[in-house]
Amino acid sequence: MLRLIRIYRKKIGRLQRLAEIYLQNRKLNLSQNKLGGFNRDELQTLKGVKTFVVEGNRIFTELANGQAEISFYQDGVVGVKLYGGTRKEPITTGAIHELPKAAEIEVCKEGNDYHVEYQKYRAVIKFDPFAITIYNNTRVKVCAGLQTRFSVDKMVVWKELKEEHFYAGGEQTGPLDKRGRYLEYWNTDAFGYHNDQTIHTYCSIPFVIATRDSATYGLFIDEPCCGFFDLGREEPDRLYFGVNQSFMRYYIIPGETIKEVVEKYTGMTGRMPLPPLWSLGFHISKWSYFPVEKVYKIAETLRRKKIPADVVHLDIDYMDGFRVFTFDPDFFPHPRKMAEKLASMGFKTVAILDPGVKKDDEYQVYREGQEKGYFTKNADGETVTGEVWPKETVFPDFYRSEVRSWWSRLVKDFLTEYGVSGIWNDMNEPSELTDLYRTLPESARHRLDDGREVSHRFVHNIYGFLEVQAAFAGFREAAPELRPFLLSRSGFPGVQRYAAIWTGDNRSRFQHLALAIPMNCNLGLSGVAFVGNDVGGFNEHCTAELFARWIAMGAFTPFYRVHSICNARPQEPWTFGAEVEKISREFITLRYRLLPYIYNQFYQAHTTGLPVMRPLVLDYQDDPETATIDDEYLFGPDLLVAPVTEEGRLERKVYLPRGSWFDFWTDRRIQGGSRITAPTPLDGLPLYVRADAVIPVWQPRQSTSVPPPKELIFEIYPVVRGELTYYEDDGTTTRFRNGEYNLLKVEHEQNLGQLAVRISYLTRGYDSGRENLILRLHGVKELSRIIWGGEEMDPDQWCYEAGAGLLEIVLPDTGDNHEVFVKQGLDE
């Protein structure tokens, strides 16, 4: 016992020191210079056509000082490959999942320019200097190039700007609209990042969406090196974008709306798989959950206090001396039993995994990787070492499929042996604690499958992306019938196909709660629908007030996890006193009530690529007011959330877009297109339901592992007409692929004092075991009769609260269609 206490103290002391070192080192990072700078005069202009060849949907041109290859696809997408000087073989990033089909093209020469007609679009290619302009079907200029310049280590394209707003851009601090800002892509361990100083964050998605009155378009750079977008910062009416090498692949994605561009972009880079339902529940975490008794205590306390939760995360504390794929034998002597015990309490276990492998000859993973040459080497063939948690660390060379397969096997064995349900991929930028750029040194070389060797700096941004691909494959091998849950800190376009992203080490400050809104919304527009932040803040000490505000907002973010650093105060909901504990319980419980709605939104993200957490401008692009709103957002299309992002605020202004809205808490109907003032007591969160929405909910459970309730409830807010297509399946397996799912359609229409509601199964391949469907109609006044199946409904089947204007109707869920007519006058 004494020994254990001694080593416990030692371990906790070491963790605290690590946290301090981490903080110290990362301070430098905040003022780090940008990497993407260049001197315009040192670049030469790409120009002059020598040859022009059309082949299928492609045009190849030999220029006076380089090459260009332009491909035309359906949906108006154009792929451009530019080479300054001689052609280099580009590196496949893996971002592209599926390109749109090739378009048929017609080319004609007009003066010195080439005009390309493809579908309803037209492209004009100029050669002096080289530039492309795209026009849509109404001949409106969508996107115009001015010139392209390059040097041995730069390729930059300039375009003209009009009144564009810019969105997406991946993981960025700052406001929603990126007009006037400079974005740079270099995955970095951005500990404690900040609004104004941070240039680099953990995850690089070089994709922006531009909107102006007449046109919307996306620009996506598909290169794994450092890239950048200047969205009118240097020159207000110019956009430039480029990369730190002499060639670049990019895509122009025109669309009528932001939605269309997001759908096309996610069609190209892939969409998220259906997540397991449990991963949409509440997750609890803190760097310091050890020994195993502590983990149990946290889990038991959640259950005792009736705070619903599905997942406990294990941070690096569980490992044996920070060796990946191991458990500390003193503090976690029976990991499998732990996972089983947690499972019996309704919890899944998610374990952190870093890519860095401790350099230790006694350690099997290191020995095997070293013997097989799986770790990253430098030009002299020596294994590159760096410093991470276990001190001297080596880094798998994930660029080779052989290394990824090895990692997949390790992940598979780990999952199978210990019964862990999810992997939290951290430090995968990759992070290194001592290097100037906090990552692998420039001397690090990666070997590609085709035998080429490249310097780390040319492929830096896909390191973590490749790692999560390997982990995902490991999951598939371990349990092909189950849906994987992976969380990642680093990412690249397409990462949504494998992992959810959390936005790393934020701070316990209101400013960070506020910045999470545009950050998550823009990540959502960049294809990453499954996104969240450390609720309460990671670094620094959270206050009770901040926690109350954050736990409320977190209930309306796609990924919902409380997490913090080991040397910050405890951050479990009950550690802030009775009031905040109650607030936490209420919001987490509400999250569990809304799970059918949330799951349905994830199904939408899976099928269309549209985000779950979305800026108002996505659904109301025609309303100029919404262009820059980033202190409120939509959670799915039907709920508008206006969190309190400042300390001490007891009310706030909320903009409600056109149409009418219901106050979620009071059912009061409010006309949209205006700003209202909402009271914001500590336990309040301004929340509104779009009129005509149908929100599926169920009775909340303490965990999704408890069998689903026998009732599904549709909260209907009828004004004119509305509909919902509700998707359901077993929530955990891949059986939906064999047709084991249901699509249930709910339609309602209000006509001459009569409200009609129709329910029908469009598909019924999954046996939900449910007994009833419950309709809860809001805003119902003066009920006179209810007709169901052509006859007056039995009063036992319904209940009407006249004061609240709420009518509840119970229908047996037999699989048959239902038609209900409610004769009344609805609240105007």
What residues make contact with ligand GLC under the rule CB under 6 A? 287, 315-316, 352, 426, 489, 504-505, 563
| CA–CA dist 618, 609 (Å, integer) | 13
Which helix (H) or strand (E) is 806 found in, with range?
strand 806-812
Q: Tell me if 72 sits within 8 A of 118, measured CB to CB.
A: yes
Which helix (H) or strand (E) is 583 found in, with range?
helix 578-593
For 91, the token pair is: 């590196």
For 503, the token pair is: 């936005």
| CA–CA dist 643, 562 (Å, integer) | 17
- Give the residue with the Cβ less far from ligand GLC, 460 or 563: 563
Q: Measured at CB, which residue is nearest to ligand GLC?
A: 287
| CA–CA dist 254, 608 (Å, integer) | 17
Minimum CB distance to ligand GLC, residue 515 (Å): 16
- Give the residue with the Cβ less far from ligand GLC, 227 or 491: 491
Question: Which single residue is written with the structure tokens 């998605």?
Answer: 205
Minimum CB distance to ligand GLC, residue 806 (Å): 43
Which one of the listed residues 171, 315, 426, 630 is annotated catalytic? 426
- Give the residue with the Cβ less far from ligand GLC, 135 or 287: 287
- Give the residue with the Cβ less far from ligand GLC, 489 or 818: 489
- Give the residue with the Cβ less far from ligand GLC, 252 or 501: 501
Cα 224 versus chain centre, distance = 19
- Give the residue with the Cβ less far from ligand GLC, 564 or 732: 564
Minimum CB distance to ligand GLC, residue 502 (Å): 8
Minimum CB distance to ligand GLC, residue 563 (Å): 6
Residues contacting residue 636 through CB under 8 Å, at least 6 positions apart: 597, 598, 600, 601, 604, 612, 614
Which one of the listed residues 429, 540, 728, 729 is annotated catalytic? 429
- Give the residue with the Cβ less far from ligand GLC, 356 or 779: 356
What is the SS3 assignment for 125?
strand
| CA–CA dist 403, 397 (Å, integer) | 6
Burial class (CB in 10 A: 0-12, 13-18, 19+), 545: middle
- Is 426 an annotated catalytic residue? yes
For 152, the token pair is: 């041995």
| Of residues 222, 243, 261, 258, the one with CA closest to residue 79 | 222
**Residue 75 DSSP code:** G
- Is 449 an annotated catalytic residue? no
- Give the residue with the Cβ less far from ligand GLC, 193 or 662: 193
Minimum CB distance to ligand GLC, residue 457 (Å): 23
| CA–CA dist 205, 178 (Å, integer) | 14
Which one of the listed residues 354, 505, 631, 715 is annotated catalytic? 505
Beta strands 531-535 and 444-447: pairing type?
unpaired
Give me the amino acid identity at 478. A
For 381, the token pair is: 């063939």
| CA–CA dist 158, 160 (Å, integer) | 7
- Give the residue with the Cβ less far from ligand GLC, 307 or 562: 562
Minimum CB distance to ligand GLC, residue 501 (Å): 12
Beta strands 78-84 and 66-72: pairing type?
antiparallel
Minimum CB distance to ligand GLC, residue 546 (Å): 18
- Is 429 an annotated catalytic residue? yes
| Of residues 706, 359, 383, 422, the one with CA closest to residue 559 | 422
| Of residues 534, 347, 343, the one with CA closest to residue 426 | 534
Beta strands 391-394 and 348-353: pairing type?
unpaired
Positions annotated as catalytic residues are: 426, 429, 505
